[in-house]
Amino acid sequence: MTGLRFDLRDPPPGAAALRAEVRAFLAEHERAWTPEVRARSWMGFDRTFTRAVGARGWIGMCWPREYGGAERSFLERNIVLEEMLAAGAPVGAHWIGDRQSGPLILRLGTEAQREKFLPGIARGELAFCIGLSEPDSGSDLASLRTRADRVGGGWLLNGRKIWTTFGHLCDWMIALVRTSPAPEGGSRHQGLSQVLVDLRAPGVSIRPIRDLVGEEGFNEITFDDVRLPEDALVGQEGAGWAQATSELAFERSGPDRYMSSHPLLEAGLDALRADAAAAPALGREVARLWTLRAMSTAIAGMLQDGADPVRQAALVKDLGNDFEQALPGAMRALRDVEAMPEPMRRMHDYLTQITPTFSLRGGTREIMRGIIARELGLR
Amino acid sequence: MIGAELADQMARALADASDVTTLRLLEAGAFPQAAWDALDALGLGAALVPEARGGAGLGFADVMQLLEALGRAGAPVPLAEGIGAAALLAAAGIEPPPGVLTFAAAGATIPWGRHAAHVVLVDGVRVTLHAAGSLRWAHGSNIAREARDTPTVTGVPLAEGMLPNAWGSDAARALTAMLRSAQIAGALQAALALAVDHANTRKQFGRPIGRFQAVQQQLAVFAAEASAASVAASAAARAADARGLADATFEIGCAKVTAGEAAAKGAAIAHQVLAAMGITEEHALHHLTRRLWSWREEGGSERFWSARIGALVQSAPGPLWTFLTSRDQEPSA
Ligand SMILES: Cc1cc2nc3c(=O)[nH]c(=O)nc-3n(C[C@H](O)[C@H](O)[C@H](O)COP(=O)(O)OP(=O)(O)OC[C@H]3O[C@@H](n4cnc5c(N)ncnc54)[C@H](O)[C@@H]3O)c2cc1C
């Protein structure tokens, strides 16, 4: 069960000063945010805000300076993420690039790819999306069918991705696709590769999908003979599965896996400050939040050390999703919705509709628990 | 690393004591003298006593793994109590005496009281040391059948002293909460190991029950809760090392709430997976689960600490987030 070990860590030197800087920055922007914007949190897409974050050096902040980074630590980055989420900042336009596409390109990309993409992501100008899921391949991702076939000097991309968050607003996708058939009787994990797709290339059609709130967050993206250049390949041909799964420690470990409802907890505390009867229930949520924060921060420290805490990330995602998902219910148990102050009620109403997604996006609850069960030696 | 080495040493010394037979005898009222002697010889009781006072001078965080190891074994000896009592005595300027030592807040029941040579009572900031034989005892027990005895103080204490401010006026409860949180984390690990082992060996419908996804998913929840309890206990201990016990009651409370909830969930899942076999007297599981159900009450229940935490954050000015982050331990240089 070594995959379930956590090493705790003190905050990095200068943590309080960095927090104060981010807070001062957020104070300039947050007056414009409606309760819905705050409740949307990292599912809010705002390029103007993202460029402002980039100008402060808070996107790609762990990357080398030559690629637009600030060479700061994972623990410092974690502080910026926490502050953004605590405020409910609309960070969606850079979240994916900062969290996983950029780090992937930095780790496995060619020099030319790094120069082409990383500075733009860090400035908040290039937005990335994740092309994993397909209509017939959700949890069973390795069954995916989108293909990139070699053609003279490049690739020809055909197939379909779905549920692509902000695909219609982004510039680039990193897609996991099949570049050679799975070997007869061999593992389906072979023959997959990651490719960079310019979402404005001919043959790419993007159809936004309206969600239950009535918003267009995710998309269906169809590739119809899309020509990709030779250097669209990220990392090694055929190693896409291993690459994509190692990305998951980054994708699943952050504070975005337990803080998605945080602005509602703040609003709830404000509304219930004088309500002595609410203290135990509020205290319970705070205790849980405190614990999740310790776990999540431990993972940031382990990533800083170059460890691959992919199982710990699955575990914290599962616990964190339970917490952020249950928050609207916990608040509702303390105050009738119609008696909530207006901003709190609006956050509550928005989150009530959207919290089911928390244990779906980034891998479902059942898949997270399956990963833990494997670590326990049950599978 | 100190923590890991200590825990190893103790695990070896505990190996003989941590079988079901010991726990059975213990629950029947016997004291595991041989196990105690072996552990006492390691000098672990003085772990938290400053070096200047002849102790090991360790911090709370250093002994968390040791406490977890103790919890995994079902705490067959009063070592957690001894470590806590010696720390309280040293803080109050009193030399810890040799032999079995325990502590409690004045008015609370005393763990292992009837087996102790000496007892430390903490009343606010006043610490008194008593020869156990000088107290009148009413025996009691928790549902783990661990001795939880009530003393009546007669005569004068052997020594008395005052806790410094860093320990605060609720030190016995806070310390108990921290010790029990770590022990709960350990007992959860042991119960999880029993459940996983059972899932891999017990066959129904022609295969190990651990092949059923319903069983796997429950055990995954269990593992997550056990990890949460462990991280929380250690994080609280680090806060206590950095700021003193008195100013770490928020963190200690959060850890105890997490551990208490984990205890309930973990025990329930363990029993579900072990089914009828797990509730027999013969099986080892109940020694752990009855301790989980007991320890979550000691040093403050989830309800107790949640109410305190809630009141604290209600009265803290500004956002909750500001409060939470203001408590981060930034290294001073
Ligand atoms: C808001 C949102 C944003 C998303 N954004 C993106 C994105 O940007 N890019 C992207 O690629 N994808 C994205 N996704 C897709 C997401 O990754 C998938 O929804 C997820 O992987 C599950 O796939 P599915 O929806 O096809 O469900 P399915 O895989 O069909 O699962 C349906 C149910 O069956 C359960 N199940 C499936 N297999 C098993 C199993 N082996 N054992 C037990 N239970 C099982 C699942 O847990 C689930 O409860 C997003 C999803 C949401 C909701």
Residues A209-251: pLDDT tens digits? 999 999 999 999 999 999 999 999 999 999 999 999 888 878 8
Please indicate if any CB of chain B lies within 8 Å of the CB of A280: yes
Whether A283 and B311 lie within 8 Å, measured CB to CB: yes
Please tell me if residue B282 touches chain A, with a CB cutoff of 8 Å: no
Q: What is the pTM of this model?
A: 0.97
* Closest chain B CA to residue A376: B196
Residues of chain A with pLDDT under 50: none
What is the structure's pLDDT at A1? 59
Catalytic residues of A: 251
* Residues paired with A176 in a beta bridge: A194
Q: Which residue from A minimizes the CA distance to B213? A: A370
Q: Quick one: pLDDT band at residue B13, thresholds 50, 70, 90?
A: confident
Angstrom distance (rounded) from CA B221 to CA B213: 12
Instruction: Identify which of A129, A163, A212, A216 to mutate to test ligand 1's pocket (most ligand atoms within 8 A of the CB).
Output: A163
Quote the pLDDT of residue B11: 79
pLDDT of residue B4 exceeding 90, the answer is no
> DSSP class of residue B318?
S
B255-279 per-position pLDDT tens digit: 999 999 999 999 999 999 999 999 9
Closest Cα to atom 31, ligand 1: which residue?
A: A139
Q: What is the pLDDT of residues B224-257, one digit of tens each?
A: 999 999 999 999 999 999 999 999 999 999 999 9
Minimal-distance CA residue to ligand 1 atom 35 = A366
- The pLDDT of B4-10, averaged and rounded, is 78
Nearest residue by C-alpha to atom 3 in ligand 1: A361
**Ligand 1 atom nearest to A130, measured from its CA:** 9
| Arithmetic mean of pLDDT, B304-325 | 98
Domain residue spans of chain A: 2-127, 130-238, 244-375
**CATH 1.20.140.10 domain span(s) along chain B:** 171-326
Q: What is the mean pLDDT of residues B16-20?
A: 73
Is CATH 3.40.640.10 the right assignment for the domain spanning B171-326?
no
Residues 147-166 of B with CB under 8 A from A: none
A219 within ligand 1 shell (Cβ under 6 A): no
- What is the crossing angle of helices A342-354 and A310-332, to 10°? 130
Beta strand B148-153 with B135-138 is antiparallel
pLDDT at residue B331, as a whole number: 64
| Residue A290 Cα, gap to closest chain B Cα (Å) | 7
Residue B16 has pLDDT above 80, yes or no: no
For B2-162, CATH number?
1.10.540
pLDDT in tens, B107-159: 999 999 999 999 999 999 999 999 999 999 999 999 999 999 999 998 899 99
Indicate whether residue A258 lines ligand 1 (CB < 6 A): no
For residue B223, which residues of chain A lie inside 8 Å, CB to CB? 1, 4, 315, 372, 375-376
Concatenated DSSP letters for B270-311? Answer: HHHHHHHHHTSSSSSHHHHHHHHHHHTTTT--HHHHHHHHHH
- Mean pLDDT of the residues in chain B: 95
User: In angstroms, how far apart are the furthest CA atoms of chain A?
Assistant: 72
d(C-alpha A159, C-alpha A156), whole Å: 10
Reference B43, options B60, B61, B63, B65; nearest CA is B63
Tally C-beta pairs within 8 A across A and B.
Answer: 164
Query: Cβ B325–A282 below 8 Å, yes or no?
Result: no
Of B200, B312, B328, the CB nearest to A378: B200
B313/A274 touch (CB, cutoff 8 Å), yes or no: no
| CA–centroid distance for B310 within its chain | 23
Beta strand extents in chain A (DSSP E only): 128-131, 147-151, 154-162, 172-178, 192-198, 204-210, 216-229, 233-234
* B76 and A CB contact within 8 Å: no
Contact list, B303 vs chain A (CB under 8 Å): 280
The predicted pLDDT at position A251 comes to 87
Q: Is B21 exposed, middle or buried (0-12, 13-18, 19+ CB in 10 A)?
A: exposed
- The per-residue pLDDT for B99 is 96
Q: CB distance from A287 to chain B under 8 Å?
A: yes
Tell me the C-alpha distance between B249 and B270, whole Å.
Answer: 30
**Which chain A residues contact residue B259 at CB under 8 A?**
none
- Which residue of B325, B326, B327, B332 is the best one to mutate when testing the A interface, meaning the one whose CB has the most A CBs within 10 A? B325
CB of A99 within 8 Å of a chain B CB? The answer is no
Q: Please state, in angstroms and rounded to a whole number, the distance separating the CA atoms of residues A129 and A116.
A: 17
Q: Which of A21, A76, A376 to mutate to test the interface with B (most CBs of B within 10 A)?
A: A376
Distance CA B292, CA B18 (A): 16
- The minimum-distance atom of ligand 1 relative to the CA of A137 is 26
CA dihedral A86, A88, A91, A92 (to 10 degrees): 120
Topology annotation, domain A244-375: Butyryl-CoA Dehydrogenase, subunit A; domain 3 (1.20.140)
Asked whether the beta carbons of A278 and A339 are under 8 A apart, the reply is no
Neighbours of A23 (CB within 10 A): 17
Mutual angle of helices A262-271 and A74-87, in 10-degree steps: 50
CB atoms within 10 A of CB A352: 18
Tens of pLDDT, residue by residue over A177-194, are 999 999 888 899 999 999
pLDDT of residue B333: 46
On the CB side of A257, CA atoms within 13 Å amount to 33
Give the burial class of A339: count Cβ atoms within 10 A of its Cβ; 0-12 exposed, 13-18 middle, 19 or more buried: exposed
One-letter amino acid identity for A80?
V
The pLDDT, as a whole number, for residue A118 is 98
Q: How far is A160 from chain B (nearest CA, A)?
A: 31
Q: Which numeric CATH code is attached to A2-127?
A: 1.10.540.10
DSSP state of A100: I
Establish whether residue A130 lines the binding site of ligand 1, counting it when its CB lies within 6 angstroms of any ligand atom.
yes
Instruction: Please name which of B234, B314, B299 lies closest in space to residue B260, comparing C-alpha atoms.
Output: B299
- Every domain range in chain B assigned CATH 1.10.540: 2-162
CATH class of the structural domain A130-238: mainly beta
Place B14 in a pLDDT band, splitting at 50, 70 and 90. confident
What was the pLDDT predicted at B20? 87
Q: Is residue B232 less than 8 Å (CB to CB) from chain A? A: yes
